[in-house]
Amino acid sequence: MPRDWQVRVADMLQAADRIREFTRGLDLDGFRADVRTIQAVTYNLLIVGESAGHLPAAVLERYPAIPWHRVRGIRNVIVHEYFDVRPDVIWETAQSDIPALVEVLNRMLGEAGP
């Protein structure tokens, strides 16, 4: 059964919350030293990218501030180029890109209405 786009956005928000939870209290060095956290954050970034890939084009077009191709692209790198995933890129994405994305995702759900 297909999932509504709002459910996909909720999946993205849940993954983002987990990323924030997993990285709370860490700095880059601490993150690099913790393989479990790297794997957990990477997996949740995969969920964000996969979910973004299922959002309808009409929805994405309403929120052009988000580089959707990059959101989907990180999923592709994780899945297809897993051997080249760099912890510093995962960290930077988690610290810089996820908070901005969360802001837009919350707005998307708010504007979608009940």
Each residue of 17-60: pLDDT tens digit?
Answer: 999 999 999 999 999 999 999 999 999 999 999 999 999 999 99
CA pair distance 70, 12, nearest whole angstrom: 14
Predicted confidence (pLDDT) per residue in 55-100, tens digit = 999 999 999 999 999 999 999 999 999 889 999 999 999 999 999 9
Count of domains observed in the chain: 1
Three-state SS string over the chain comes to CCCCHHHHHHHHHHHHHHHHHHHCCCCHHHHHCCHHHHHHHHHHHHHHHHHHCCCCHHHHHCCCCCCHHHHHHHHHHHHHCHHHCCHHHHHHHHHHHHHHHHHHHHHHHHHHCC
In the structure, what pLDDT confidence band is assigned to residue 114 with cuts at 50, 70 and 90? low
Global pTM value: 0.92
25: left (phi over 0), alpha (psi -120 to 50) or beta: left
Q: Which domain holds residue 14?
A: 5-112
